[in-house]
Amino acid sequence: MSIDLAVIGGSGLYNFPGLENARRQSVDTPFGPASGDVVTGDFAGKRLAFLARHGESHSLPPHRVNYRANLWALHQLGARRVVGVNAVGGIRDDMGPRVIVVPDQIIDYTHGRFTSFCDVEGAEVKHIDFSEPYTASLRRDLLAAAARAGVPAIDGGCYGATQGPRLETRAEIARMKRDGCDLVGMTGMPEAALARELELEYACLALVANFAAGCGDEEEISIEEIFAHLAAATAEVPKILGAMLAG
């Protein structure tokens, strides 16, 4: 099966709007079950595969997502280009609620996750080059597509991946800011590294749902406001991906 693009949906994106001739597939993997069925169909004249990272009912917290199974399933179905859609908090001043960012770097603060396909007994050990964690050509295509679709998107930024599911303290965000992080999220790793191990093209569409703790003017982070901002940003995703697939 030929898949032109695979999309991994994060919080707020549990199905892909506008997908035609949709077909659900359960994919067996050597790493256990994926987050759910992979839904394939036609979008913007191309074949698209969609997988909800947290499950379609948001039943999987970030640290319990089977990232290895998810990437393996998409790869097994023939995907070669993968866009991860991630809900994030903004640290940098210009990355406030409803802003869309295509980051170019990542710092991993997670722990206790299966971070490599090499963790399996007898597997070949691969030392991947991860100096540029996102595929440059796919990043460029996303940014160009956003411009054609009339959707503002920021080029570049460092994504700090935290463990979750709790939000971070002000001190943790202050440390991340000193480290050079512009965004904070809970699902960026090990997804990006696993995609690289499988030699997949991979890029991230980061949707800012809120300012991180101690950033912006917000004294408290309201979950209701987070999901309202996230819904607004999520509505722009099909426009960007449609423009990219249409070429």
Q: Where residue 101 sits, what CATH number does that domain have?
A: 3.40.50.1580
- Per-residue pLDDT at 75: 97
Per-residue pLDDT tens over the stretch 127-138:
999 999 999 999
Task: Please list the ranges in the chain whose pLDDT falls under 70.
Answer: 1, 218-219, 221
- According to the annotation, is 47 in a ligand binding site? no
- According to the annotation, is 54 in a ligand binding site? yes
Domain that holds residue 61: 5-246
CA gap 236, 231 in Å, rounded = 9
- Model pTM score: 0.95
- According to the annotation, is 11 in a ligand binding site? yes
- According to the annotation, is 34 in a ligand binding site? no
How many domains, in total, are found in the chain? 1
- According to the annotation, is 186 in a ligand binding site? yes
CA gap 83, 172 in Å, rounded = 28
- Per-residue pLDDT at 225: 86
Residues with Cβ within 8 Å of 4's Cβ and at least 6 positions away in sequence, in order, are 46, 47, 48, 81, 245
- Per-residue pLDDT at 28: 94
- Per-residue pLDDT at 218: 67
- According to the annotation, is 210 in a ligand binding site? yes
